[in-house]
Amino acid sequence: MDAIQTLSTEIAELVGGNGLYDSYKDQWTYLLQSYVGGDEYRTAGLLTRYQLETANEYAARLAATPLENHCASVISVYNSFLFREEPNREFAGLDQLPELEDFLNDADMDGRSLNAFMKDVATWSSVFGHCWILVVKPNVGAVTVADEQAQGVRPYVNLIAPLSMLDWNWARQPSGRYTLDYIRYLEDSNGDVRVIKEWRPDMITTTIVDVNKGIISEKIEEVNGLGMIPAVCCYNGRSVTRGIGISDIADIADQQRFIYNATSEIEQTIRMDSHPSLVVTPECNIGTGAGAIINMPENLDPGLKPYLLEFNGAEISSIQSAIKHAIDSIDKMANTGGVRATESRTMSGVAMETEFQLLNSRLSSKADNLELAEEQMWRLWSAYMGKTWQGSIDYPGSFNIRDTQKEIDALVKAKSAATDPRVLAVIDHEIVEFLGEDADIVLPEMVTLATGETVPSDATEPFEAPEEIFNPSTGEKGWVIDFQSKKDALMAGWVELE
**Residue range(s) defining the domain that contains residue 414:** 403-443
Closest CA to 204 of 171, 177, 226: 226
Report the pLDDT averaged over residues 435-449: 62
In this structure, are 148 and 112 located in the same domain?
yes
Count of beta carbons in the 10 Å neighbourhood of residue 377: 26
Query: What is the domain count for the chain?
Result: 3
Q: Which of 338 and 38 is assigned the larger pLDDT?
A: 38
CA distance 215 to 468: 68
pLDDT band at 314 (very low <50, low <70, confident <90, very high): low
Q: Is residue 91 part of a domain?
A: yes
Report the pLDDT averaged over residues 462-491: 79
pLDDT (0 to 100) of residue 243: 93
* DSSP labels, 356-399: HHHHHHHHHHHHHHHHHHHHHHHHHHHHHTT-----EEE-----
In this structure, are 187 and 198 located in the same domain?
yes
pLDDT at residue 32 tops 80: yes
Q: In this structure, what are the phi and psi dihedrals at residue 104, rounded to the nearest 5 degrees?
A: -65, -35
pLDDT (0 to 100) of residue 436: 65
In this structure, are 66 and 101 located in the same domain?
yes
Contact at 8 Å (CB) between 197 and 189? no
Q: Is residue 407 part of a domain?
A: yes
Which strands sit side by side in the sheet containing 156-160, from one edge to the other? 156-160, 130-136, 231-235
For 386-434, how does the pLDDT look when each residue is reduced to its tens digit (9 = 90+)? 899 999 999 988 776 665 666 677 777 887 887 777 777 777 777 777 6
Q: Is residue 333 part of a domain?
A: no
In this structure, are 372 and 495 located in the same domain?
no
pLDDT at residue 295 tops 50: yes
Q: Is residue 3 part of a domain?
A: no
CA distance 262 to 428: 50
Q: Which helix H or strand E contains 340, and what residues bound it?
A: helix 337-340
Q: Which of 65 and 485 is assigned the larger pLDDT?
A: 65
Closest CA to 437 of 487, 376, 379, 472: 487
Q: Is residue 218 part of a domain?
A: yes
pLDDT (0 to 100) of residue 1: 43
Q: Is residue 296 part of a domain?
A: no
pLDDT band at 344 (very low <50, low <70, confident <90, very high): very low
In this structure, are 414 and 453 located in the same domain?
no
In this structure, are 419 and 485 located in the same domain?
no
pLDDT band at 302 (very low <50, low <70, confident <90, very high): confident
pLDDT (0 to 100) of residue 438: 65
* DSSP labels, 215-262: EEEEEEEEE-TTSS--EEEEESSB-SSTT-B--SSHHHHHHHHHHHHH
In this structure, are 478 and 376 located in the same domain?
no
pLDDT at residue 468 tops 50: yes
In this structure, are 243 and 156 located in the same domain?
yes
In angstroms, the Cα distances linking 150 to 98, 99, 112, 419 are 12, 11, 22, 73
In this structure, are 67 and 156 located in the same domain?
yes
Report the pLDDT averaged over residues 156-165: 95
Question: Is 324 buried (19+), middle (13-18) or exposed (0-12) by CB count in 10 A?
Answer: exposed
For 184-242, how does the pLDDT look when each residue is reduced to its tens digit (9 = 90+)? 999 998 888 999 999 999 999 999 998 888 888 899 999 998 999 999 999 999 999 99
3-state secondary structure 10-66: HHHHHHCCCHHHHHHHHHHHHHHHHHHCHHHHHHCCCCCCCCCCCHHHHHHHHHHCC
The model's pTM: 0.77
Q: Is residue 241 part of a domain?
A: yes
In this structure, are 407 and 474 located in the same domain?
no
Q: Is residue 317 part of a domain?
A: no
Report the pLDDT averaged over residues 38-59: 92
In this structure, are 453 and 384 located in the same domain?
no
CA distance 155 to 175: 28
pLDDT (0 to 100) of residue 161: 96
Q: Which of 435 and 324 is assigned the larger pLDDT?
A: 324
In this structure, are 368 and 497 located in the same domain?
no
Q: Which of 167 and 6 is assigned the larger pLDDT?
A: 167
